[in-house]
Amino acid sequence: MTATHTRSTAPATPIAPATPTSPSAPTSPSAPTASSVPSGCKTTYREAMREALREALRGDERVFLMGEDVGRYGGCFGVSLGLLEEFGPERIRDAPLSESGFVGAGIGAALAGMRPVVEIMTVNFSLLALDQILNNAATLLHMSGGQLPVPIVIRMTTGAGRQLAAQHSHSLEGWYAHIPGLRVLAPATLTDARYMLAPALADPDPVLVFEHGSLYNVSGDLPADAGPVGIERAAVRRPGTDVSVITYGGSLPKALAAADDLARAGISAEVIDLRTLRPLDDATIGESVARTHRAVVVDEGWRTGSLAAEISARLAEQHFYDLDAPVERVCSAEVPVPYARRLEEAALPQAATIVTAARRAVGEPLPATAGPAEPQPVDRGVGGAG
């Protein structure tokens, strides 16, 4: 009865790139390729993610990818382009627009011994699956007295900066980081994009991976020494001595840009990439703040009840006497993310607002030109559809 509507087997000819990209984007999804990207080679965040998936699918027949348009379309953001041709429609499984249904199915498959990677197009859509993520994935192990671990990986895009307005742009990873039983990851670098999936799949418990939409087109050389990474610890992305800038995901490039600006003003900022939002790596954060005595937390979530609020509270609890200044927070304005470019930029953390906050923290007078009045342009990374 569904013969005319069921997916056919893998097409004989490669499918065309289906993801709209900006004409100038130098790293639009390329045609499917079977070759992997060795370390030291030029790649993009998107390709690194794809390589991680390919490696997982090749290495473990229990692994499969499931989600909306992951197969013939190649993934809403082009991450899975070409994987259908290599692994077939059973393992690169297009799902109907039933977030709760296919996330729950992923949980059930995990219970039955599979290692599903479930892709949700954006974090806003994940709210349709929140019941399954919270009430089943995060809860079953405990509620069953340890009988039912749920080894599922759920990937989703998060964040703003692409003029996608208020239903495709929010940063709700802080909500998920609230939930016991989940591990929450935010790969922000090419290396983490390439290597975080393997330990996530090895984790016996549910792991959520948040991929900031502005990062997919980030390109660069995968470091020659890039290799397996852990998912326990935060990373110091830039050492410094005067102030700790604590951030993650799509805000990391902005924090690094701010650190460059601060360096020109003689302020040495240490940039910490949280990488794992739950459980938080208190040790790395604390060790840094114990040295710099000042902290700026940058979080694209809304300020109230945010991950930044949690980190600030921990610093107050654990490092009150190390701090020489109040903890600064740079968060998104408390408004649904607007469409218009200038409004959207004003709503989000920017390098300039991070610089301002860091200067306040270290007690430096703010230069006349600094301040939030004229936000800097942000990475216009394109790659979304839908």
Partner 1 sequence: MSTTRTRRAPRPAAAPDPRAAHRLALLESMLRVRRFEERCVELYSAARIRGFMHLYIGEEAVAVGVNEALTDEDAVVSTYREHGHALARGVPAEAIMAEMFGRVTGCSRGRGGSMHLFDAGRRFYGGNAIVGGGLPLAAGLALADRMTGRNRVTCCFFGDGAFAEGEFHETANLAALWRLPLLLVCENNLYAMGTALARHQAETDLALRAAGYGMVSWAVDGMDVFAVEDAARRATEGVRAGTGPHFLEMRTYRFRAHSMYDSDRYRDKAEIDHWKERDPVEGLARLLREASELTDEARAALEDRLAAEIDAAVDAAEQAPEEPVEDLLTYVTSPVEVNRP
Task: Output the CA–CA distances (angstroms, integers) from residue 269 to 167, 244, 368, 369, in the order listed.
Answer: 34, 6, 21, 20
Distance, CA of 147 to CA of 140 (rounded, Å): 8
**Least distance between partner 1 and beta carbon 136 (Å):** 6
Binding of partner 1 by 9 (CB under 8 A):
no
Binding of partner 1 by 231 (CB under 8 A):
yes
Distance, CA of 123 to CA of 67 (rounded, Å): 13
Which one is catalytic: 68, 85, 119, 168?
A: 168
Binding of partner 1 by 130 (CB under 8 A):
no
H/E run at residue 156: strand 153-158
Q: Which of 29, 74, 82, 106 binds partner 1 (CB under 8 A)?
A: 106
**Least distance between partner 1 and beta carbon 115 (Å):** 10
Compare residues 146 and 377 and give the one whose CB is closer to partner 1. 146
Q: What is the residue type of 181?
A: G
Binding of partner 1 by 86 (CB under 8 A):
no
Q: Which stretch binds partner 1 (CB under 8 A): 160-168, 179-187, 329-337, 343-351?
A: 179-187
The residues, ordered by sequence, that sit 6+ positions from 335 with a Cβ below 8 Å of its Cβ are: 347
Distance, CA of 233 to CA of 137 (rounded, Å): 23
Q: What is the largest CA-CA distance in the chain?
A: 72
The verdict on whether 99 is a catalytic residue reads: yes
Are 234 and 328 spatial neighbours (Cβ–Cβ below 8 Å)?
no
Compare residues 23 and 228 and give the one whose CB is closer to partner 1. 228
Q: Which stretch binds partner 1 (CB under 8 A): 91-99, 267-275, 296-304, 372-380?
A: 91-99
Where are the strands (E) in 163-316, listed by range? 183-185, 207-212, 219-221, 235-238, 243-247, 269-273, 276-278, 295-302
Q: Which of 14, 17, 88, 101 binds partner 1 (CB under 8 A)?
A: 101
Token pair 């990391």: residue: 252
Binding of partner 1 by 1 (CB under 8 A):
yes
Q: Write the interaction track for partner 1 spanning residues 295-334; mark x where CB under 8 A is met and - where it is not.
A: ----------------------------------------
Binding of partner 1 by 147 (CB under 8 A):
yes
Are 110 and 117 spatial neighbours (Cβ–Cβ below 8 Å)?
no
The verdict on whether 293 is a catalytic residue reads: no
Residues engaged in binding partner 1 (CB under 8 A): 1-2, 6, 64, 90, 95-96, 98, 100-114, 116, 131-132, 135-136, 140-149, 180-181, 183, 199, 202-205, 228-232
Active-site residues: which are they?
Answer: 99, 168
